[in-house]
């Protein structure tokens, strides 16, 4: 084991932005359909402790369908789509309310964020979701995310919250994703019927062999769920976010993780910052912004690009589209995602940010390209 391996047990301690995925079975008692209020109160304490330690915490919480069944008097068996969507509509209110109450006891403000697959597939919606999440986090709120089950039809569904949680981790640039599960990690075989099955503590590389372990029917206590977890790990780790699978049903899972509860860690293969830069750099540019000497210097010093520093706008691009940045001597500086359309950029080029509202007729964003959206 290398030093980085032993450090992994401190993945939570060293993380700055953590996404915690909470499955329905943890929050809702299967038999009664009621909320597991003690468990909820205990994890709210864990979350408050993480917030107090200065971390951003985002929850991806399931449970809307499980809670909604009871509220609508539907059976605990598999439901047809329209019934599960109706259950989600009722249960989501209850779910969000439960989180808001539990976290308010610790002085924390919650925010409900409901998304569908399209919100990450479409770049403009993705960037918008990212901006909203970062604003919520900057104001200390705890976003409670779920799929918008009531309106999501099959083609636009994540379908499972493991996948949704991985996407949220990527969108928000989180450095740790914790899946609270009914298993304590990935095994080489099914520990129920294979006495030689080994628990895997650390996975640095998701090889086809690892995928096969997760994919075997019934392996690793998976109930078919381990495969989606390993897929989630692929998404997260490639974007610089480590992922932990641990057993979550006992009270205080995050506290237990800190004190060494058994889990599997998938280590990140890059950092979120570098992954995002590569993502931006790989896009096809839709236009060019020529910048003046002042802006050129500012960009080299890690600043955002303001309208004032633009001398010329080429091409036709929309908000969120990638554009090339060019220095006064014609050298290409890199590219970034524009926060204005080409038409708007032409109008505000060379102007101070405070003049934007007068020129465009509405108060726009102060920067044309934010430094987080640039690959130089
Ligand atoms: N979004 C669903 C719910 O809140 C759960 C999906 C999942 O747990 O994977 O009920």
Q: Which of 149-163, 316-330, 361-375 has the lowest mean pLDDT?
A: 149-163
Ligand 1 atom closest to Cα of 164? 9
Residue 82 parent element (H or E): helix 81-104
Q: What distance in angstroms lies between residue 25's CA and the mean position of ligand 1's atoms?
A: 10
Residue nearest to atom 5 of ligand 1 (CA): 62
Residues within 6 Å of ligand 1 by CB: 23-24, 62-66, 88, 146-147, 149, 160-161
Ligand 1 atom closest to Cα of 95? 4
CA 102 to chain centre: 22
CA distances to 153, 283, 289, 345, 357 from 296, in Å: 47, 22, 11, 17, 25
Report the 10 Å Cβ neighbour count for 31: 7
Q: What distance in angstroms lies between residue 147's CA and the mean position of ligand 1's atoms?
A: 7
Residues 6+ away with beta carbon under 8 Å from 322: 280, 283, 284, 285, 286, 335, 336, 337, 338
Q: What is the pLDDT of residues 6-18, one digit of tens each?
A: 444 578 999 999 9
Q: What distance in angstroms lies between residue 237's CA and the mean position of ligand 1's atoms?
A: 22
Report the 10 Å Cβ neighbour count for 107: 10
Q: Domain 283-375 classified CATH 2.170.150.70?
A: no
- Looking up tokens 């940045």 gives 325
Ligand 1 atom closest to Cα of 23? 8
Question: Nearest to residue 267, comparing CAs of 3, 39, 34?
Answer: 3
Sign of CA dihedral 92, 152, 44, 52: negative
> From CA 277, how far away is CA 336, in angstroms rounded?
9
Ligand 1 atom closest to Cα of 87? 10
User: Which of 21, 23, 24 for a ligand 1 pocket mutation test, highest count of atoms within 8 Å of Cβ?
Assistant: 24
State residue 174's pLDDT score: 95
Q: pTM for this structure?
A: 0.85
Q: What is the pLDDT of residues 89-104, one digit of tens each?
A: 999 999 999 999 999 9
Residue nearest to atom 2 of ligand 1 (CA): 62
Work out the angle at residue 262's Cα, subtended by the Cα atoms of residues 146 and 63, and round it to the nearest 5 degrees: 20
Give the largest CA-CA distance in the chain: 72
Mean per-residue pLDDT, 208-231:
69
User: Which of 161, 168, 232 for a ligand 1 pocket mutation test, highest count of atoms within 8 Å of Cβ?
Assistant: 161
Output b/e per residue, 111-134; b: 16+ Cβ within 10 A. Answer: bbbbbbbebbeeeeebbebbeebb
Sort strands 56-61 and 310-315 into parallel, antiparallel or unpaired.
unpaired
CA 298 to chain centre: 30
> From CA 6, how far away is CA 29, in angstroms rounded?
36
- Does position 332 have pLDDT exceeding 90, yes or no? yes
| Average model confidence (pLDDT) across the chain | 90
298 within 8 A of 292, measured Cβ to Cβ? no
Ligand 1 atom closest to Cα of 24? 8
Mark out the alpha helices in 182-332 (DSSP H runs).
208-215, 226-238, 253-258, 272-281, 293-300
Whether 5-275 shares its CATH topology with 283-375 is answered: no
Ligand 1 atom closest to Cα of 88? 10
Q: What distance in angstroms lies between residue 372's CA and the mean position of ligand 1's atoms?
A: 31
User: Which of 149, 152, 153, 225 for a ligand 1 pocket mutation test, highest count of atoms within 8 Å of Cβ?
Assistant: 149
Sign of CA dihedral 299, 303, 308, 314: positive
161 within 8 A of 358, measured Cβ to Cβ? no
State residue 135's pLDDT score: 95
- Does position 3 have pLDDT exceeding 50, yes or no? no
Q: Which residue has the higher pLDDT, 102 or 273?
A: 102
The structural domains of the chain, with segments of one domain joined by +, span: 5-275, 283-375
Question: Nearest to residue 368, comparing CAs of 315, 321, 306, 308?
Answer: 306
Residue nearest to atom 9 of ligand 1 (CA): 160
Q: Name which CATH class applies to 5-275.
A: alpha beta
Q: How many helices (H) and strands (E) does the chain have?
A: 16, 15
> From CA 84, how far away is CA 64, in angstroms rounded?
9
Report the 10 Å Cβ neighbour count for 258: 16
Mean per-residue pLDDT, 75-81:
87
242 within 8 A of 267, measured Cβ to Cβ? yes
Q: What distance in angstroms lies between residue 180's CA and the mean position of ligand 1's atoms?
A: 13
Q: What is the pLDDT of residues 350-361, one digit of tens each?
A: 999 899 999 999
Q: Which of 39-48, 86-95, 151-160, 269-278 has the lowest mean pLDDT?
A: 151-160
């Amino acid at each position: 084991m290398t030093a980085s391996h032993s450090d992994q047990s401190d993945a939570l301690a060293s993380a700055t932005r953590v996404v915690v995925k909470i499955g329905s079975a943890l929050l809702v008692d299967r038999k009664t359909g009621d909320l597991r209020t003690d468990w909820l109160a205990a994890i709210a304490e864990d979350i408050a402790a993480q917030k107090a330690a200065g971390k951003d915490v985002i929850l991806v919480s399931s449970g809307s369908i499980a809670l909604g069944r009871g509220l609508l008097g539907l059976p605990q068996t598999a439901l047809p789509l329209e019934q599960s969507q109706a259950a989600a509509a009722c249960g989501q209110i209850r779910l969000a309310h439960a989180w808001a109450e539990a976290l308010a006891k610790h002085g924390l403000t919650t925010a409900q964020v409901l998304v569908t697959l399209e919100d990450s597939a479409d770049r403009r919606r993705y960037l918008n979701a990212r901006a909203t999440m970062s604003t919520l986090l900057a104001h200390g709120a705890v976003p409670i995310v779920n799929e918008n089950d009531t309106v999501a039809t099959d083609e636009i569904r994540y379908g499972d919250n493991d996948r949704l949680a991985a996407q949220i981790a990527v969108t928000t640039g989180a450095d740790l994703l914790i899946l609270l599960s009914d298993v304590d990690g990935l095994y080489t075989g099914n520990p129920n019927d294979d006495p030689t099955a080994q628990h895997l503590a650390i996975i640095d590389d998701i090889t086809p062999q690892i995928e096969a372990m997760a994919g075997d029917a019934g392996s690793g206590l998976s109930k078919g769920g381990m495969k989606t977890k390993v897929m989630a790990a692929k998404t997260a780790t490639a974007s610089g976010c480590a992922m932990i699978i641990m057993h979550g049903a006992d009270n205080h899972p995050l506290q237990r993780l800190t004190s060494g509860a058994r889990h599997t860690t998938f280590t990140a293969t890059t950092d979120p910052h570098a992954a995002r830069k590569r993502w931006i750099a790989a896009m096809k540019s839709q236009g060019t912004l020529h910048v003046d000497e002042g802006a050129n210097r500012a960009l080299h010093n890690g600043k955002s690009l303001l309208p004032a520093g633009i001398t010329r706008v080429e091409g036709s691009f929309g908000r969120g589209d990638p554009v090339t940045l060019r220095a006064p001597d014609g050298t290409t500086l890199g590219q970034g995602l524009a926060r204005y359309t080409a038409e708007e950029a032409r109008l505000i080029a060379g102007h101070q940010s405070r003049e934007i509202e007068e020129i465009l007729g509405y108060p726009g964003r102060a920067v044309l390209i934010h430094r987080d959206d640039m690959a130089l």
